[in-house]
Structure 1
Amino acid sequence: MARIELKRIAVRLCCWVHFLALISFTAPRPARSAPQVPCFFIFGDSLVDNGNNNDIASLARANYPPYGIDFPGGPSGRFSNGMTTVDVIAKLLGFDNYTPPFASASGNELLSGGGRISFGGQVQNYQAAVQSVVNILGDEDSAANYLSKCIFYVGMGSNDYLNNYFMPAFYSTSRQYNPQQYADVLAQQYSQQLRIMYNYGARKVVLIGVGQVGCSPNELAQHSSNGVTCVNRINSAIQIFNQKLISLVDEFNKLAGAHFTYINAYGMFGDILMNPAANGLKVTNRGCCGVGRNNGQVTCLPYQTPCQNRDEYLFWDAFHPTEATNIIIGKQSYSAQSSSDAYPIDILRLAQI
């Protein structure tokens, strides 16, 4: 078993995302079967945030009602009315508890958590966590063997487009790079962080493609003439980036012991938009909670009254899906319904390796 590199590495990345992780150092559960993998790490943005923004200086928060209206215990910092996609996947993998934020984790939740930090910052947190795993298990080889069985979920890119590239009034990236060049830059930085994760024991890695953010209520409100037609230039740029992720999967799968896979969130959203009724949804172009055109010009405000039929909405607020949508995406990510959902394998098969 390859040893884990424990040297200090300085890392940086332009996009803003958060880190959280779930690791199973729990006592045996007599009434329940063990999780399919010993631990589950999640690196990502607000789509998978579980409360990491609650204790930092940020306008992006979801720790107030009506966020969490359908989540056990109420508002938790998740940007949805209920579970996120990774909550769904964690349950399908057999974990009992919802993933805690990095800052609140301790003891058996040692590796859980993270703040609103760059992907590079998340990876640095992971490096520190690996050292703790080494200390717990006694040596690097034992830690490497343990981590090789875990699943690492990595989803980034949405914010690089929504809150950077397609905000020319605030950022110059769209003037510096055409869509192909920008995707190249992001993929290169992504690859650097994935390499560090691999060097620190990550072997089963899931790369989540960026969804059709050109169809979000916020983008429809700003750029769609009829408030229904998706913004093609945004979705086209995202497709270029997603193709880069597929190439990264092929590249990293050449490494010893690596099992990387790509989840086609873009295609899953497309299927829902093409036939929402088949998925139990009725409203795809408006947020359940928000202000302005498409309920997407201003995101869900504190104590605002949301729609009553939340399970029929694709989007909860200006940017984020409802729990109903997250359940659809989470289930398909875990167990692919078609060959286009995952490449080369889904999360269920990855867990079985």
Structure 2
Amino acid sequence: MAHVELRGPMLGARWLLLLLVLTSSLGPARPEPRVPCYFIFEDSLVDNGNNNNNASLAVANYPPYGVDFAGGPTGRFTNGLTTVDVIPKLLGFHGFIPPYARTRGQALLAGVNFASAAAGIQEETGRQLGGRIPLSGQLQNYRSAVQEMVRILGGEETAATYLSKCIFSVGMGSNDYLNNYFMPALYGTSRQYTPEQYADVLTQQYSQQLRTLYNSGARKVALIGVGQVGCSPSELAQRSPDGVSCVEEINSAIGVFNAKLIGVVDELNALDGAHFIYINGYGIFEDIMRNSAAYGASVTNRGCCGVGRNNGQITCLPYQAPCAYRNEYLFFDAFHPTEAAIVLIAKRSYSARSPSDAYPMDIRRLAKV
């Protein structure tokens, strides 16, 4: 491109006028998000495409998934938005947090979704479903992203300051129960550990993984508790005596694990500059289920789409039309909530409706720390 030297007050005035015209035509500037970036580590509840190219049964990049999403099927395991689509919007982000599988360079600075369907705290969790990225692999991908951000931002100190202002959302553990502990034919953990012992094993490993995240720059971390897996249509169909009552054996084990996460939060908040919080996903979903009629959800024990079994995985059958009134269903498939339920969960995670929703604060307050 040729070098053009601009001189003279008239030319400067013309450029100023042009700039004013262009600025006015673009409308008012949009406000900046409350935090500069948002990073996500989880499983199929928020995977938005990282598993699409894996040799895996845990994929959702086909209809009817995404039937209510503007981009159609993307890898999201629901009909529309996930919680990590809704929460960034509440934080003021203007677009969706992209999957790490197709994000590099400058785009990393706004945050990345590292979530992978079937992923767990334990390496072997979900192995019967094929390719997936366990939490350890997600952390490895994050460290690679940090190295790139250090290069972009011009140094480790600058990158550390930048990352300290971001929010990190971490929600692991459901597959360690659903696709590990409660699959005795494939995994030996339920024979090796009592629910109390297994919760100890998980939280000890989880705590170390979260320290790794802290050592790589994370300071504001929202730890998402495991939901009521024992109330999912899949577990109701397989284990419930009447097809309606939640499976207490599963929910009780998850309750033990979630209770220990409070201690993990307290432990990690002793680290310099750390602000870890716990979002009570179990309690929030329990309240939504108990008061489902008030929320307009009349169907709580089955999914909105047709489901099929593929080596133990129950997902929507490809290209089958889902139910017409999706807002009336809590679940879209045999495991994952509908967008209607997800929006309720996300809003309460962001701004707690009751003191039990978040500890010691909600995501809205975390953003202000």
User: Which of the numbers 224, 227, 249 marks the counterpart of 2:265?
Assistant: 249
C-alpha contact (below 8 Å) 2:58/2:313 kept by paired residues: no
User: Which of the numbers 117, 131, 149 marks the counterpart of 2:165?
Assistant: 149
TM-score, normalised via structure 2 length: 0.85
C-alpha contact (below 8 Å) 1:68/1:82 kept by paired residues: yes
Please give the secondary structure, in 2, of the residue aligned with 1:246.
helix
Aligned runs of 1:87-102 on 2, under 5 Å? Answer: 87-102=85-100
Measured on the aligned residues, the alpha-carbon RMSD in Å equals: 1.7
Equivalent residue for 1:223? 239
Equivalent residue for 1:112? 112
Q: Does 1:171 align with 2:190?
A: no
Structure 1 runs of 4+ off > 3 angstroms?
none
Q: Does 1:121 align with 2:121?
A: no
C-alpha contact (below 8 Å) 1:261/1:343 kept by paired residues: yes
TM-score, normalised via structure 1 length: 0.89
CA distance in 1 between partners of 2:113 and 2:164 (Å): 20
Please give the secondary structure, in 2, of the residue aligned with 1:109.
helix
- Give the direction of change, closer, same or farther, for the CA distance of 1:135–1:313 in structure 2 (3 Å limit): same
Equivalent residue for 2:249? 233
Q: Does 1:66 align with 2:82?
A: no
Q: Deviations over 1:72-126 (max 9, x none)?
A: 1100000000000111111111111112221211333225354531101111111
Farther off after superposition, 271-280 or 147-156 = 271-280
CA distance in 2 between partners of 1:54 and 1:139 (Å): 33
Aligned runs of 1:1-353 on 2, under 5 Å? Answer: 30-110=28-108, 112-114=112-114, 116-291=132-307, 298-353=314-369
C-alpha contact (below 8 Å) 2:62/2:73 kept by paired residues: yes
- Give the direction of change, closer, same or farther, for the CA distance of 1:260–1:297 in structure 2 (3 Å limit): closer
Q: Deviations over 1:235-293 (max 9, x none)?
A: 00000000111111000111110000000000011101111022221111110013389
C-alpha deviation, 1:30, in angstroms: 5.0
C-alpha deviation, 1:29, in angstroms: 9.8
C-alpha deviation, 1:183, in angstroms: 0.5
CA distance in 2 between partners of 1:30 and 1:206 (Å): 32
C-alpha deviation, 1:298, in angstroms: 3.7
C-alpha contact (below 8 Å) 1:71/1:83 kept by paired residues: yes
For structure 2, which runs of at least 5 residues remain unmatched after alignment?
A: 1-25, 117-131
- Give the direction of change, closer, same or farther, for the CA distance of 1:129–1:298 in structure 2 (3 Å limit): closer
CA distance in 2 between partners of 1:142 and 1:349 (Å): 24
For structure 1, which runs of at least 5 residues remain unmatched after alignment?
A: 1-27
Q: Deviations over 1:31-68 (max 9, x none)?
A: 31100100000000000100111111001110000000
C-alpha contact (below 8 Å) 1:206/1:263 kept by paired residues: yes
CA distance in 1 between partners of 2:279 and 2:285 (Å): 12
Say how many residue pairs are matched: 324
- Give the direction of change, closer, same or farther, for the CA distance of 1:49–1:297 in structure 2 (3 Å limit): closer
C-alpha contact (below 8 Å) 2:225/2:278 kept by paired residues: yes
